[in-house]
Amino acid sequence: MKLLVALIPLVALCTGNAVPMVPGDNSHYVEGESRYIWMPDGDGVPHLVDLEAPVPPEAADSRNGANNAYWLFTRNNPNNAQVIVQGDANTIWNSNYVASRPLIVIVHGWNGNGNSAINPLVRDAYLAVQDANVIVVDWRGSAGGLYTTSVWAVPSVGQFLGDFLTWLIETAGGNWNNVHLIGFSLGAHVVGNAGRHTGGRPARVTGLDPAGPQWGGNSNALNTEAGQYVEAIHTDGGLLGIFDRIAHADFYPNGGRNPQPGCWISTCSHSRAYEFFAATVQFNHLVGRLCGTLQQAQSVQCTGSNLNMGNGVLTKRGDGIYALATGNSWPF
């Protein structure tokens, strides 16, 4: 009897509906089966998400990309945003936007906003090495609240972003060959939709640990049609991120799964994707080796040709599965 009593909690933990108690620990999670998962907000704080929570119809209908905000940063205003409003050309003329510069677009993930950790980190890395137009997309109105509702909002948020970029380039000048879209988690699927909405014209699209829950088999997920060259960096595959290939070049640092070096919880491994990327923009030092299979990538046993992970080189191109080992702290 004592043995039976002792086993009851263990059995409960193995069921798909068990509520995990340790913040950020997703070791219980089984893709496609588990109801609950810990997800980080824009500051990396874990929140328990119920993937089966009912969504009020009015909540879903009220979320779309019409409320996206577009914050421009340049070397002339590296810390203070200039807000560009679609349809108001004066907001461009009164800004530091220069058509001949590279155009870098950064999109945060669930429960984030324009001030979330990814934005200053990636923005500052770019401005340290390039005289660029960096646009941070703030879609907090649709990114907050129920995760499922935010998932439903992604296509609209991406389409509005695509329309904004088309208007910006047509109004103030620019070149799609100078455009690099970068999205983290749900933001990776946002930039996927934005890129497809513009006909795949952006030179580069980078998905930073593209969100996994509710995205398996989802036609709105990031794919190779989003840009001329699409890259994904997988750091929490099978938990908060997608593990399977979705891009032209898919990178699996340290095997692409939790725990990443220096992390002990899934939410930390998820955020490693944008930390790795920012480091590569500034230092371009993390080099992947081509793998024959995902299994080789997971065990970091790849011996093929080299391709640098991440970086800000607009002409970069590659194809295949790549693995590499990193350090456990900046710049990795």
Catalytic residues: 185, 209, 270
Q: Quick one: residue 198, left, alpha or beta (phi over 0 = left, psi -120 to 50 = alpha)? A: alpha
Name the phi and psi angles at 102, rounded to 5: -60, 145
- DSSP H helix total and E strand total for the chain: 9, 13
The residue type of 184 is F
- Dist CA 242 CA 185 (whole Å): 9
Q: Quick check: 78 and 45 in contact, CB under 8 A?
A: no
Alpha carbon 170 to chain centroid, angstroms: 27
Report how far residue 172's alpha carbon sits from residue 176's, in angstroms, rounded to the nearest whole number: 13
Quick check: helix, strand or coil at residue 128? Answer: helix
φ, ψ of residue 37 in degrees (nearest 5): -155, 145
